[in-house]
A and B are shown apart, each in its own frame.
Chain A
Amino acid sequence: MLRPTLMAAALVVAFPAYADADLDALRTELQQLKASYEARIQSLESRLQAAETQANQAVQTADKAESQAKNAAAQVKTADVQTTPVESASDNAASRFNPEISLILQGQYANLNGDITDRNITGFLSPGVSEASSGFSIAESELVLSASVDPYFRGYLNAAIDPDGGVGVEEAWVETTSLGQGLTIKAGRFLSALGYQNQFHPHAWDFATNSLMYDAEFGGAYTQNGAQVRWVAPTDLFMEFGAEFGNGDSFPSTTSSGLGDYTLFSHFGGDVGVSNSWTAGVSYLYGKAQDRESGLTDLNGNPAQTLFNGNSKNWNADFVWKWAPEGNPTEQYFKFVAEYFWRDEQGNLVCADNLATGGVCDGTASAYTSSQSGGYLQGVYQFMPRWRVGYRYDRLNVGSTHFGTNDAYLPVYDYSPTANTLMVDYSPSEFSRLRLQYTQNKSMIDLTENQFFVQYIMSLGAHGAHKY
């Protein structure tokens, strides 16, 4: 009997123990679970909190941004009273860095004497007059780009797109903007600052054709591949002095290597009262010529090719007077220009052998000296808004020319080439111009040619400021 009770007792005693152990295990398990859940909840909670603070922060920053925007707006409003510049919002940031671009389109209809094949200026060793063509033609289209490079330099490019294809670089230069004291240095290819008209591209000319003087002296215009230094004096009277050094690869110089030529120039100018202004200048060009080609006509009347070696000294004088009532050229103005040049050349001249074609030259090289001059006078009058009339008188003095032994083959003329030019032009706006021109051209001996031109000049893009 004892045994079952004992067993029971033992069981009872043992069971709780057993039960206790089990319970403990369960409890620990539960506790572990609870702990892990708590940890998870805690982590979730902390994540939630973090998210919440982030959201708060976002709201705060949004608030801040808003208040900043408000401040900015307030600042913009008060900017009128304050002294901070009002920036125009419409400006496109990228386009602000774009250079100024302008494109010039020109074309003309010319009525010339078709019988003249070999155009030249009688008595002058010129690089040949550009072969003007009768009928419709488009002139070179000029593309001009310019901008500040940085606070120290400015760059400029003028590319001429030839109607027959090909692109020529008329000008490509950089110049300083920060030297101060009136000093500017320019380098690259540029139109020389000598004379008055030289720096104007054809679209800015007052006539459809070039003056005989520029054709004879430079074959168009004098371009420098080199460097220029110029200085403006700190005086009420405008005084500018400058010098250029270059390769001298533009007529009348033709040195192909090294420093060939130099120019010295000076310009002066001022106002007389409020309605009148003027400029005047004196320039000097020294050029070296090596095998410089010019076409002449020999004593037999045959075309002869000549090669000149020597030096060319050129003096230029220019004078410009402008009048506009009250200094306001909108309604009316008058512009008078006069330029003159003197040239002395010394060296030797080869008249290339043209015996085969019936000529008389046999390729002899002999001494050559010449002393020549020429110039033009012109007046342009705007008699009412948009309408202008102009007249130009060209005259060259053949001066004295000595060919040495070549005197036997080449004629020396006593003839003064002249031209009379009349034009009328109409400018619908300052960006477009239509022109009608008549020229009585007597640049070749025993020949009077009547030339008629109808021309248009249009400029697109940047509003270029034109020189005086």
Chain B
Amino acid sequence: MKSIRLILSLLTTLPTLAHATLNVFACEPEWGALTSELGGNAVKVYTATTAMQDPHRIEARPSLIAQTRRANLVVCTGAELEVGWLPLLLRESGNAEVQPGRPGYFEATRYVTLLDKPTLIDRSQGDVHAAGNPHIQTDPRNIARVGAALAQRLVEVDPANAAVYQARWKAFSARWEASIARWQQQAAPLRGMSVVVQHKSFTYLLNWLGLREVATLEPKPGVEASVGYLAEVAARLKTTPARAVLRATYQSPRASEWLAQRADIPAVALPFTVGGAPGADDLFGLFDVTLAGLLKVPQ
């Protein structure tokens, strides 16, 4: 009898529990972290990928479909980054709230001006993103832009907690702007430094700090380098030297370490997103660790 009453009380409270917190499905860790900053206890965030996974190549696993089914808001990068898996999750989930065009579907890249817009959209150019480079989270100013839009979207989707989102956005924004100023000051000596990157992962970071990208370790986006191509890059570095090779921690170290050894420059693994390295546990840590990694490069 007691257990029946318990089950009944559970059943009656379940729907209210489900409404108390907003279920957010974040495609990448940076958007999961940002949503947590803005939502606090008002949101329950599920992050679909980790920093050790390549966001281009995620399988539409059953667990992800189950989470999409329960989401009130989907927060993703957009710009075709998740084209290989997100459309399938949305279709299979049967969740009308989070379909593209609904308030429950949020694409971060829509609120940022994208770089690297290809002039030639042809698959012979590799895995190009027609809308531009989607890896916007490596510039903290983009995080601020997306944060402003996301705060507004949270208010729209969950008006009951509007005050929470607005207050938390205000507090986060103030801390974030102060941090950006601090990072920019720290990074001042990095201005003009030449680097080699593994994939076009850090375009926005380099653009923010004024670093120069002299070569990419992929002959074309998403196409893995052959030994011949790497040798070519190594030869090119003799005339236009670089001070470091940068890669994201989820990428295989083979190519960058080979080149680093050849050119006698350090290979630096940057977290790329939240959780990508020890210390990069939130958005603030992400940039602290990123800058520390870059500043370790002998000047």
Q: Which residues of A contact B (CB under 8 A)?
A: 79-83, 85-86, 88, 90, 151, 154, 175, 177-184, 230-240, 267-271, 274, 277-279, 322, 326-331, 385-386, 429-431, 460, 463, 465-468
Contacts and interface: CB of A to CB of B under 8 A. Distances in A.
Contact of B132 (A88, A329, A386): A88
B119 to A, nearest CB: 10
Nearest to A88: B131
Contacts of B92: 232, 240
Nearest to B54: A330
Contacts of B123: 429, 431, 460
A463 B148 CA distance: 31
B211 interface: no
Given A179-B94, A182-B95, A151 B101 contact: yes
Given A180-B94, A180-B96, A270 B63 contact: yes
Contacts of A235: 66, 70
Nearest to B147: A83
Contact of A82 (B54, B86, B148): B148
Given A81-B148, A83-B149, A88-B132, A179 B96 contact: yes
A58 to B, nearest CB: 34
Contact of A429 (B50, B80, B91, B223): B223
Contacts of A232: 65-66, 69, 92-94
A468 B60 contact: yes
A270 B49 CA distance: 14
Contacts of A177: 91, 96, 99
A268 to B, nearest CB: 7
Interface string B128-170: 0001100000000100010011001100000000000000000
B172 interface: no
B36 to A, nearest CB: 19
Nearest to B97: A180
19 contacts: A80-B113, A85-B110, A180-B97, A181-B96, A182-B95, A184-B91, A231-B94, A234-B69, A271-B61, A279-B62, A327-B50, A331-B252, A429-B222, A430-B84, A460-B123, A463-B83, A465-B60, A465-B86, A465-B88
B126 to A, nearest CB: 8
A237 B66 contact: yes
A237 B96 CA distance: 20
Contacts of A86: 110-113
B165 to A, nearest CB: 12
B57 interface: yes
A386 B223 CA distance: 10
B124 to A, nearest CB: 10
Contacts of A460: 123
A270 B88 contact: no
A468 B59 contact: yes
Interface in B218-236: 222-224
Contacts of A239: 66
Contacts of B97: 180
Interface in B81-107: 83-88, 91-97, 99, 101
A88 B79 CA distance: 10
B70 A234 contact: yes
A236 B49 CA distance: 16
A327 B53 contact: yes
A326 B50 contact: yes
Contacts of A278: 62
Interface residues of B, number: 54
A240 B59 CA distance: 18
Contact of A268 (B54, B62, B86, B132): B62
Given A80-B113, A83-B152, A429-B222, A277 B63 contact: yes
B114 interface: yes
B57 A467 contact: no
Interface string B60-77: 111101110110000000
A178 B57 contact: no
Contacts of B112: 80, 86
B127 interface: yes
B182 interface: no
A64 B84 CA distance: 46
Nearest to A320: B62
Nearest to B146: A83
Given A237-B66, A270-B62, 12 more contacts: A83-B149, A88-B114, A90-B117, A178-B99, A181-B96, A182-B94, A233-B69, A270-B63, A331-B252, A429-B123, A429-B127, A429-B222
Contacts of A151: 99, 101
A184 B94 contact: yes
A269 B63 contact: yes
Contacts of A236: 63, 66-67
Interface string B223-263: 11000000000000000000000000010100000000000
B62 A267 contact: yes
A277 B66 CA distance: 13
A261 B224 CA distance: 49
Contact of A81 (B87, B145, B224): B145
Given A237-B66, A429-B223, A465 B53 contact: no
A269 B64 CA distance: 10
Contacts of A234: 69-70
B52 interface: yes
A238 B131 contact: no
Contacts of A82: 148
Contacts of B224: 385-386
A269 B63 CA distance: 6
A465 B85 contact: yes
A277 B59 contact: yes
A456 to B, nearest CB: 16
